[in-house]
């Protein structure tokens, strides 16, 4: 009987309980049955629907219309059931939110790699099946860490969880913390399912300083110095004025990626930059042609033996091997790319939806690997932009197979000019002169993306002005000009790899780019100046500048060979000994020598050793790239990009076509250098850390300039929330000759205070002070006699400084506001600043402020809006000669407009839907 009563009471309470309204499941109608107003019921319903699921009854108090009295009244009538959202993708995304944000903020630098890493964060790889290159491709994971794990898995051990991973002998704490989010152990956090990512970005950016200067250069008559010649002041004699580049013109990026787990992948991206037609003004055919896409299949469990895997891609893909000497295709140069830390290479074949256009590979690629060997083969066919030799009418000059420039007369017959400038219509064997290959100077990544007809119209207008001369200067028309898609490049390549020992690999890489419709012709050093410079007046002055780098660009026709391809062959290797990982690559560009013989062709090599301790690492890197190693698909370690300091950078005003400067401004290759680089980081304890510090000693091989660059950073963290940082950078450039070139020294001192506030808010104050000691540009100045130094000489000592504040405020998980204000005084020194997702360079004097709001609208939808105002003053300009001064000291001197102020408003709007 007693039991019966207990049961009865239990049932009674159960019944009472079930009669209660469950706030997390009740319909609106059920909520309206409660003793509250209809509006209050609606508010409760809306809170659950649009704010969050109730975790306790007291959440009701967060609803403005529910007061304590109402809550007390409701309390006996309602329950809150346990209700958890189980969307594994959303959970996973929350888990790795910090890392995703960090990758996004690095997107500008890594260009497309963030996509690959994001995929691995969302759908990690099984750590027990990963191979050496898989580890090496992840950010902040070293070869030593990789081998520590591989040793375990090779012995048949299975890593069961993060804790188990952490206990791996030899795996550093740093390696472990960076690796753990990219791998899984038994069950993946997200099971195979369809994932997609749609991205829209709208960006009204301005031209960078170098591009701005290049596009402002006027095409002037050569005889402007002659007396009695009136030179018209016409804005539209520059590309800037002609194309009306003062107008805002946004870059629009649309990207869609789909994948099913890590197996099936599909993506398409359209990017319209400056000068390119937008989506509405493109026809469908052009739109498809200009878009990048890929379709791929990956299988990491091939039935070909132990742990074999396959990747197969159609469309756009990236290929990266070794140290990037033979093949790492990208349009974007990054300095000091060591292959360690965040400065990584993702080895092998990866899908490519980056903004890289010129050195994009489009075709098919296949990669089969297992723990002992790997085979990769790839083919590509794509139309490339190039600088072409053109006639006065804008037609490209043709080149025959015997090294003659071939012209076409009015009858359509082709001829070349012999040594005495007479037309020759037949070769010695009696056959008519024939040439259908374009004569090209080099690949180029153009700043302006107008089509060829539009470019030719512009050139015709400029030529019209250049031709208004009677003086016999070298060039009175544009002889070199960018032509879009002029070169049909067919490329094939392969990479073979053997891994004889754990953590040891040997690789062989080669590619050949076939040029069926073009010859690359670059004149030798002495013949170069008349081709590139507009006016013989400059020849002698500019021979002092290191132009051998231009004359060493690759030619397909020289006195010693005649071919229609470019071939690069290389070897790479890696091994781990104890806590040191040694890796390197050797590459040769086939020129005069035998393809298979080493040492007889322009070469490049790079060897590095990375030694890792728990709180310390050393990286030593040795590199050497010959002057004539012109491989546009390389992207290895260097301090500077190719063609820096040549006439393409320094003397844009003297070029036959200012847009030749694109060869330098948008260069993706390393400058020929030889040097040794040393990097370290040491964490003494929780208070003191020597941050990434390096010393680089190198020689620029084109002109023998030697440089030492040192940077070190000390962080003092007296409290967890406060960090003080000191950074010092010193660079000395010098020549070992007795010409007027001299030493330049740069010092940069930075101090910053960072506070890490609650809720991940962040405040930073930074001050930077620089000095640059420069020799005067004596080659450009007149003799230093009294009254004769009328042209500005460079300052011998320049000082600049910079002060800035950064702040991040998280209103909640859904809304983050970042902003910064900074002021700088450059005095000719260029400052740089890392913004939320991109780096910005600032010259002269000015201030800027930016604010970026990241709104997580829903679990899957993100909106980012960034606005920046940058107000700065430009260089001093002499504007008007006729504004004579009446000042008794400056009598009759020209009056200068002191500086011209610029104000730039930049907005970037992006929408991301990740599902």
Partner 1 sequence: MLSNKSIVLITLLLIASALSAWSITDSYFGNRIGSMDARIYGMGGAGTYNNARPFGIADNPANLTLLKKNAGFSVGTLYNRNEDNRAIPLYNSFDNYVDDAVYSSNINFYDDYAGAAYYSRKLGIGAFGIGVYHKPRLNFDSNYKEEVRNNRNTDNDGYPELIALNTLESEGNLYQTGFVTSMGFSFGDDFDINLGFDYSLLRGQVESEKAIRWSDWAIATVGSSRNLPSLTETINYDLNGSQLRLGWAALLNSRLGAAMTYSPKTTLTREGDYLYLREAYYNAAEVRESNPIDEDYIMPAEIRFGINYAPRNVMRTVYNLDLEYVRYSEIHTRYDDQLNLYAGVEHHITNRIPFRLGFNAVNNYFFTTESATDAENNPITVYYTKKILTPMITAGSSVQLMKNLTADLGFGYTWREYEALDLFGDAYYNDKTYTGSSSYALWPNSHIQLANRGWENPDKVRENNISFNAGLSLNW
Q: Residue 632: CB partners within 8 Å, gap ≥ 6?
A: 359, 443, 668, 669
Report, in this order, helix, strand and coil percent for the chain, each rounded to 5: 20, 40, 40
Structure tokens at 662: 């694109």
| Part of the chain binding partner 1 (CB under 8 A), chosen from 108-116, 263-271, 823-831, 887-895 | 887-895
690 or 865: CB nearest partner 1: 865
Q: Which residues, 166 to 205, sit near partner 1 by CB under 8 A? A: 202, 204
Q: Residue 538: CB partners within 8 Å, gap ≥ 6?
A: 529, 651, 654
Q: Is 881 in the site for partner 1 (CB under 8 A)?
A: yes
Per the CB < 8 A criterion, the answer to whether 676 and 618 are in contact is no
Q: Residue 202: CB partners within 8 Å, gap ≥ 6?
A: 250, 251, 252, 907, 908, 909, 910
Q: Is 279 in the site for partner 1 (CB under 8 A)?
A: yes
3-state secondary structure of 536: helix
Q: Is 867 in the site for partner 1 (CB under 8 A)?
A: yes
163 or 233: CB nearest partner 1: 233
Pairing of strands 183-184, 125-126: parallel
The backbone torsions φ and ψ at residue 854, rounded to the nearest 5 degrees and listed phi first, read: -110, 115
Radius of gyration of the chain (CA): 32
CA angle 153/155/157 to nearest 5° reads 55
Greatest Cα-to-Cα distance within the chain, rounded to the nearest angstrom: 128
| Part of the chain binding partner 1 (CB under 8 A), chosen from 9-17, 502-510, 718-726, 855-863 | 855-863
Structure tokens at 360: 């994009």
| DSSP for residue 82 | -
Question: Least CB distance from residue 790 to partner 1, whole Å?
Answer: 10
82 or 230: CB nearest partner 1: 230
Question: Least CB distance from residue 802 to partner 1, whole Å?
Answer: 24
Question: Least CB distance from residue 210 to partner 1, whole Å?
Answer: 15
Structure tokens at 816: 């983050």
196 or 333: CB nearest partner 1: 196
Q: Is 861 in the site for partner 1 (CB under 8 A)?
A: yes
Q: Which residues, 626 to 655, sit near partner 1 by CB under 8 A? A: 653
Question: Least CB distance from residue 903 to partner 1, whole Å?
Answer: 7
Q: Is 900 in the site for partner 1 (CB under 8 A)?
A: yes
Question: Least CB distance from residue 247 to partner 1, whole Å?
Answer: 5
Q: Is 909 in the site for partner 1 (CB under 8 A)?
A: yes
Q: Is 14 in the site for partner 1 (CB under 8 A)?
A: no
Please select the residue that binds partner 1; options are 15, 18, 35, 64, rule is CB under 8 A: 64
H or E element, residue 891: none
| Part of the chain binding partner 1 (CB under 8 A), chosen from 276-284, 319-327, 730-738, 798-806 | 276-284
Closest CA to 852 of 806, 804, 808, 818: 818
Q: Which residues, 78 to 137, sit near partner 1 by CB under 8 A? A: none
Please select the residue that binds partner 1; options are 712, 863, 871, 915, rule is CB under 8 A: 863
Site string for partner 1, 225-264 (x = CB under 8 A): ------x-xxxxxx-xx--x-xxxxx--------------
Question: Least CB distance from residue 217 to partner 1, whole Å?
Answer: 7
- Cβ count within 10 A of residue 443: 24
Q: Is 821 in the site for partner 1 (CB under 8 A)?
A: no
How many residues form the binding site for partner 1 (CB under 8 A)?
70
Question: Least CB distance from residue 861 to partner 1, whole Å?
Answer: 7
Q: Which residues, 770 to 799, sit near partner 1 by CB under 8 A? A: none
248 or 375: CB nearest partner 1: 248
Please select the residue that binds partner 1; options are 3, 50, 68, 228, rule is CB under 8 A: 50
Distance CA 356, CA 535 (A): 35
41 or 113: CB nearest partner 1: 41
796 or 905: CB nearest partner 1: 905
Q: Is 856 in the site for partner 1 (CB under 8 A)?
A: yes
Q: Residue 775: CB partners within 8 Å, gap ≥ 6?
A: 740, 741, 742, 743, 744, 794, 796
- Cβ count within 10 A of residue 444: 26
Please select the residue that binds partner 1; options are 91, 295, 506, 907, rule is CB under 8 A: 907
H or E element, residue 895: strand 894-897
Three-class HEC string of 842-889: ECCEEEEEEEEEEEECCCCEEEEEEEEEEEEECCCEEEEEEEECCCCC
Distance CA 159, CA 124 (A): 14
724 or 900: CB nearest partner 1: 900
273 or 602: CB nearest partner 1: 273
Q: Is 281 in the site for partner 1 (CB under 8 A)?
A: yes
Please select the residue that binds partner 1; options are 216, 355, 488, 683, rule is CB under 8 A: 216
Q: What is the DSSP string of 334-399?
A: -TT--SSTTS----EEEE--SS--TT-EEEEEEEEE-SSEEEEEEEEEEEEEEEEEB-TTSPBPEE
Distance CA 4, CA 6 (A): 5
563 or 902: CB nearest partner 1: 902
Closest CA to 514 of 363, 293, 316: 363
878: left (phi over 0), alpha (psi -120 to 50) or beta: beta
| Part of the chain binding partner 1 (CB under 8 A), chosen from 293-301, 302-310, 793-801, 893-901 | 893-901
Q: Is 878 in the site for partner 1 (CB under 8 A)?
A: yes
Question: Least CB distance from residue 586 to partner 1, whole Å?
Answer: 47
Q: Is 815 in the site for partner 1 (CB under 8 A)?
A: yes
562 or 789: CB nearest partner 1: 789
Q: Is 887 in the site for partner 1 (CB under 8 A)?
A: yes
Distance CA 493, CA 347 (A): 15
Return residues touching partner 1 (CB under 8 A).
28, 46, 49-53, 64, 202, 204, 216-218, 220, 224, 231, 233-238, 240-241, 244, 246-250, 279-281, 653, 811-815, 853, 855-859, 861, 863, 865, 867, 874, 877-879, 881-887, 894-895, 897, 900-901, 903, 905, 907, 909, 911
């Amino acid at each position: 009987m007693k039991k019966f009563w207990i049961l009865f009471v239990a049932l009674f309470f159960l019944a009472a309980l079930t009669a209660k309204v469950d706030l997390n499941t009740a319909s609106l109608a059920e909520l309206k049955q409660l003793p509250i107003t209809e509006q209050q019921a609606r508010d409760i319903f809306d809170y659950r629907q649009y704010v969050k699921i109730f975790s306790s009854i007291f959440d009701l108090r967060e609803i403005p219309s529910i007061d304590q009295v109402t809550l007390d009244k409701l309390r006996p009538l309602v329950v809150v059931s346990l209700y958890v959202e189980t969307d594994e993708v959303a959970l996973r995304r929350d888990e790795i939110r910090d890392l995703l944000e960090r990758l996004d903020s690095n997107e500008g630098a890594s260009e497309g790699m963030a996509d690959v890493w994001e995929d691995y964060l969302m759908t990690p790889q099984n750590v027990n099946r990963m191979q050496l290159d898989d580890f090496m491709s992840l950010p902040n994971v070293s070869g030593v860490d990789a081998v520590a794990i591989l040793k375990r898995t090779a012995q048949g051990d299975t890593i069961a969880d993060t804790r188990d991973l952490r206990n791996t002998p030899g795996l550093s704490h740093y390696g472990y913390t960076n690796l753990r989010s990219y791998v899984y152990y038994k069950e993946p956090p997200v099971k195979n399912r369809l994932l997609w990512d749609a991205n829209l970005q709208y960006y009204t950016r301005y031209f960078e300083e170098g591009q701005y200067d290049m596009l402002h250069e006027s095409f002037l008559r050569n005889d402007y110095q002659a007396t009695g010649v009136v030179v018209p002041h016409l804005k539209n004699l520059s590309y800037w004025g002609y194309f009306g580049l003062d107008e805002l013109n946004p870059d629009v990026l649309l990207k869609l990626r789909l994948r099913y787990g890590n197996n099936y992948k599909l993506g398409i991206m359209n990017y319209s930059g400056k000068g390119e037609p937008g989506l509405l003004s493109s026809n469908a055919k052009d739109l498809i042609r200009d878009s990048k896409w890929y379709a791929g299949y990956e299988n990491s469990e091939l039935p070909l033996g132990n742990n074999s895997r396959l990747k197969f891609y159609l469309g756009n893909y990236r290929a990266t091997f070794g140290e990037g000497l033979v093949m790492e295709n990208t349009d974007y140069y990054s300095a000091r790319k060591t292959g360690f830390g965040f400065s990584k290479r993702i080895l092998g074949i990866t899908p490519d939806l980056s903004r890289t256009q010129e050195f994009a590979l489009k075709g098919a690629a296949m990669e089969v690997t297992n723990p002992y060997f790997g085979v990769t083969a790839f083919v590509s066919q794509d139309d490339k932009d190039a600088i072409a030799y053109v006639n006065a009418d804008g037609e490209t000059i043709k080149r025959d197979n015997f090294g003659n420039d071939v012209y076409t007369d009015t009858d359509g017959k082709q001829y070349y000019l012999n040594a005495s400038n007479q037309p020759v219509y037949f070769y010695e064997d009696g056959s008519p002169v024939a040439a259908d290959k374009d004569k090209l100077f080099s690949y180029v990544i153009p700043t302006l993306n107008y089509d060829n007809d539009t470019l030719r119209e512009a050139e015709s207008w400029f030529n019209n002005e250049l031709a208004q001369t009677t003086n016999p200067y070298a060039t009175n028309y544009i002889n070199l000009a960018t032509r879009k898609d002029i070169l049909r490049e067919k490329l094939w390549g392969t990479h073979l790899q053997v891994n004889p020992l754990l953590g040891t690999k040997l690789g062989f890489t080669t590619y050949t780019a076939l040029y069926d419709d073009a010859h690359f012709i670059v004149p030798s050093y002495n013949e170069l100046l008349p081709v590139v410079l507009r006016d013989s007046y400059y020849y002698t002055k500019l021979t002092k500048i290191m132009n051998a780098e231009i004359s060493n660009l690759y030619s397909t026709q020289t006195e010693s060979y005649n071919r229609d391809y470019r071939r690069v062959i290389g070897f790479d290797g890696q091994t781990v000994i104890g806590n040191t990982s040694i890796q390197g690559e050797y590459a040769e560009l086939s020129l005069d020598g035998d393809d298979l013989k080493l040492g007889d062709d322009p070469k490049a090599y790079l060897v590095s050793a990375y030694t890792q301790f728990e709180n310390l690492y050393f990286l030593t890197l040795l590199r050497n790239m010959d002057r004539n190693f012109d491989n546009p698909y390389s992207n290895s370690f260097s301090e500077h990009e190719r063609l820096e300091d040549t006439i393409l950078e320094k003397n844009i005003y003297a070029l036959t076509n200012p847009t030749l400067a694109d060869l330098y401004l948008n260069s993706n290759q390393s400058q020929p250098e030889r040097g040794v680089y040393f990097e370290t980081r040491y964490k003494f304890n929780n208070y003191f850390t020597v941050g990434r510090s390096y010393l680089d000693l190198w020689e620029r091989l084109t002109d023998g300039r030697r440089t030492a660059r040192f940077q070190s950073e000390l962080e003092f963290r007296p409290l967890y929330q406060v960090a003080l940082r000191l950074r010092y950078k010193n660079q000395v450039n010098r020549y070992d000759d007795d010409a007027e070139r001299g030493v330049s020294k740069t010092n940069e001192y930075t101090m910053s205070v960072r506070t890490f506030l609650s809720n991940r808010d962040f405040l930073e104050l930074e001050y930077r002070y620089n000095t640059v000691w420069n020799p005067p540009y004596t080659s450009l100045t007149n003799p230093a006699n009294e009254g004769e130094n009328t042209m500005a000489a460079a300052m011998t000592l320049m000082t600049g400084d910079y002060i800035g504040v950064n702040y991040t405020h998280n209103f909640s998980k859904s809304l983050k506001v970042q902003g910064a204000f900074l002021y700088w005084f450059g005095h000719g020194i260029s400052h740089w600043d890392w913004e939320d997702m991109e780096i910005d360079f600032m010259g002269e004097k000015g201030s800027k402020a930016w604010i970026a709001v990241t709104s997580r609208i829903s679990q899957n939808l993100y909106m980012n809006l960034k606005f920046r105002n940058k107000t700065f003053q430009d260089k001093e300009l002499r504007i008007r000669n006729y504004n004579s001064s009446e000042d008794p000291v400056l009598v009759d001197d020209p009056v200068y407009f002191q500086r011209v102020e610029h104000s730039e408003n930049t907005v970037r709007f992006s929408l991301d839907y990740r599902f």
